[in-house]
Structure 1
Amino acid sequence: MNGWMMWMILAGVVVIFELFTGTFYLLMISIGLVAGALAAVFQLGPEIQMIVAAIVGALATAALHKSKYGWKENANAARDPNVNMDIGQTLQVNEWKELGNGKFAARTMYRGAMWDVELQHSAGYPGAYVIEEIQGSRLIVKPT
């Protein structure tokens, strides 16, 4: 069996494993293995084939990692509207109590229950506010 055939069989096996995992990283490694097969077609030595496969696979993996499909940072769940449906919703606050240091607190009705609400770095006036973060059972809001 030719060297390029072995490289292609190995690339096919890695693609099959990729189908089970659902990540694109193994697909990038298989691209490196196909590059090794191309090096074998051009009758380069086995050491050069391995070096070509390693370099192409590593570069493809690094390119995927830097792209929008690569590894993503964990978002702050307290501020992520994809995690908590309350982020970005509005609520009405009728009265604020000053805590000092530019912080204000209130109790208000939201979704049929009383919630602790906190406002930072703004004056507390009655009116509508937007939820920007949830810390435990406390809603952190900003003016609309």
Structure 2
Amino acid sequence: MNAWMTWAVLAGVVVILELFSGTFYLLMIAIGMVAGGIVAIIGFGSSVQLIIAAIVGSLATIFLHKSKYGWKGNVNAARDPNVNMDIGQTVDVQNWHQQSNGHFSARVAYRGAMWDVELHHRDGDAGQYVIHEIQGSKLIVKPM
């Protein structure tokens, strides 16, 4: 088997493995292997093929990591609407109670249950509020 065929088979195997992993990082390594195969078709030796495959695969992985599709830092699940479907929903607060620390709290009916609601550093007026964060059984809200 020719060297370029070996690179193509290896790249295909890595693409199949990537389908199971759910990330794009193995795909970037496969792109490096394809680059190694192209260098093999041109006629360079195996050491040049390996170096080109490593460089292209590494650069592709770095560019993916820096892009918007790359690794996301630790996201606070209490504020992430992709984790918690309640983030961004509205609640109707009838009256606020001022606490000693300057915060406002209330009790509201939301999704068939009573919830504690907290509003920070604002004057608490009755009305509708948007859920900004969830801390245990407490909704942290902000004005609409």
Say if 1:127 and 1:8 are closer, same or farther in 2 by CA, change over 3 A.
closer
* Inter-partner Cα distance in structure 2 for 1:59 and 1:66: 11
Give the structure-2-normalised TM-score: 0.86
Which residue of structure 2 aligns with residue 7 of structure 1?
7
Give the structure-1-normalised TM-score: 0.86
Which residue of structure 2 aligns with residue 55 of structure 1?
55
* Inter-partner Cα distance in structure 2 for 1:105 and 1:64: 44
Q: Secondary structure at the match of 1:100?
A: coil
Q: Secondary structure at the match of 2:99?
A: strand
Deviation at 1:54, TM superposition (A): 0.2
Say if 1:16 and 1:106 are closer, same or farther in 2 by CA, change over 3 A.
closer
Count of residues paired in the alignment: 144
Residues 102 and 123, structure 1, Cα contact 8 Å, conserved in 2: no
Say if 1:17 and 1:87 are closer, same or farther in 2 by CA, change over 3 A.
closer
Say if 1:141 and 1:60 are closer, same or farther in 2 by CA, change over 3 A.
same
Q: Which moved more, 1:67-76 or 1:128-137?
A: 67-76
Deviation at 1:85, TM superposition (A): 2.2
Which residue of structure 2 aligns with residue 105 of structure 1?
105
Which residue of structure 2 aligns with residue 25 of structure 1?
25
Which residue of structure 2 aligns with residue 66 of structure 1?
66
Unaligned runs of 5+ in 2: none
Residue 118 of structure 2 is aligned to residue 88 of structure 1: no
Which residue of structure 2 aligns with residue 132 of structure 1?
132
Say if 1:47 and 1:80 are closer, same or farther in 2 by CA, change over 3 A.
same
* Inter-partner Cα distance in structure 2 for 1:105 and 1:42: 71
* Inter-partner Cα distance in structure 1 for 2:108 and 2:121: 19
